[in-house]
Amino acid sequence: MELFEHIVQGKRLKKEDHIPGNIPFVMSGVTNTGFVTKISNPINLFPANSITIDIFGNTFYRNYEYSASDDVGVYWNDKKLSKEAMIYLTAIISKYLEGKYSYSDKLRSSQSLNFKIQLPITSNGNPDYEYMTTFIRIQQKLAVRNVVEWKDKEIETYKNVINK
């Protein structure tokens, strides 16, 4: 089963050809999730709620419109999956690709057509996007709870130090 209706490689755009503007431009790399600058060059504009995978397998969810270089593949669907389902897919794909690609063995989006990843499925065999959405929402709530608990402990520690 194919997960994405659209898998498109970005376009080559040399640094010296960048025209300053308002469109986020994504290239390969993990620094700043691959975001390098804002341009106004008339190249492909990709939709928010999509995933980028670069030549090294670095995988990021994008919740904004952007453009991408030719070392980045962009993945999205016309039917809108929830942000949380897309984040779930991003995490699964990222884990699947971890450590598999490098300068000597670069990933191209055309290669990704043969990837096999395991996902939760519904009783009729389709990806269970509702489960994915719920799972990510729970993880987000747990993360917030952990931060609040940590903050409360820090405040107590601070109060105890002051009161000594």
Does residue 95 lie within any of the structural domains?
yes
Between the alpha carbon of residue 52 and those of residues 58, 101, 117, the distances in Å are: 8, 15, 16
pLDDT tens for each residue of 11-25:
999 889 999 999 999
Q: Tokens 């608990």 identify what position? A: 149
pLDDT tens for each residue of 84-107:
999 999 999 999 999 898 888 888
Between 74-83, 96-105, 110-119, 131-140, the lowest mean confidence (pLDDT) is in 110-119
Say what the pLDDT of residue 164 is: 64
Q: Quote the number of domains for the chain.
A: 1
Does residue 77 lie within any of the structural domains?
yes
pLDDT tens for each residue of 25-75:
999 999 999 999 999 988 889 999 999 999 999 999 999 999 999 999 999
Say what the pLDDT of residue 74 is: 95
Separation CA 139–CA 27 (nearest Å):
29
Does residue 123 lie within any of the structural domains?
no
Residue 68 domain boundaries: 6-118
Please give the single-letter amino acid code of residue 23: I
Separation CA 23–CA 43 (nearest Å):
10
Number of residues in the chain: 164
Does residue 24 lie within any of the structural domains?
yes
Check which CATH number belongs to the domain holding 94 and give it. 3.90.220.20
Phi, psi of 125 (to 5 degrees): 90, 5
Separation CA 148–CA 133 (nearest Å):
23
Say what the pLDDT of residue 103 is: 83
pTM to 2 decimals? 0.85
Does residue 154 lie within any of the structural domains?
no
Beta carbons of 75 and 50 less than 8 angstroms apart: yes
Average pLDDT over residues 132-154: 90
Q: Is 145 helix (H, G, I), strand (E, B) or coil?
A: helix
